[in-house]
């Protein structure tokens, strides 16, 4: 694996996580409406500005990006990534 590939994947996963997290923070009313009944969250009386589908996509993108980022960080810390770089 080329040396730059691991860094590029790590950077991309961090950016995806950041963008999804910021989007979710900006659309808290839609997020509250999406988890209504599953958590102790009371949604706003305002209409959400984003659809449930968009909220689900952002939550999945945030979770996947966070999981990939943490996994890659663990691989880099333990030295496994160095062996892949060859």
Walk along the chain (86 residues) and give the pLDDT tens digit of each residue.
677 888 899 999 999 999 999 999 999 889 888 887 776 777 778 888 899 999 999 999 999 999 999 999 998 888 887 777 66
- Per-domain residue ranges of the chain: 3-85
* Closest C-alpha to 22, from 56, 64, 58: 58
pLDDT of residue 63: 97
Indicate the pTM of the whole model. Answer: 0.84
Check if the beta carbon of residue 42 is closer than 8 Å to that of residue 35.
no
Q: Which residue has the tokens 């500005």?
A: 49
| Residues 6 or more apart in contact with residue 10 via CB below 8 angstroms | 69, 72, 73, 76
pLDDT of residue 85: 65
What is the DSSP-derived secondary structure letter of residue 37?
A: T
* Closest C-alpha to 33, from 56, 17, 16: 56
């Amino acid at each position: 694996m080329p040396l730059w590939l691991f860094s590029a994947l790590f950077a991309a996963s961090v950016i995806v996580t950041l963008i999804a997290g910021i989007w979710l923070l900006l659309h808290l009313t839609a997020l509250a409406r999406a988890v209504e009944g599953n958590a102790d969250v009371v949604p706003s009386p305002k209409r959400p500005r984003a659809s449930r589908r968009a909220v689900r996509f952002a939550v999945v993108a945030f979770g996947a990006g966070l999981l990939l980022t943490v996994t890659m960080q663990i691989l880099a810390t333990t030295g496994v990534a160095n062996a892949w770089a060859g």
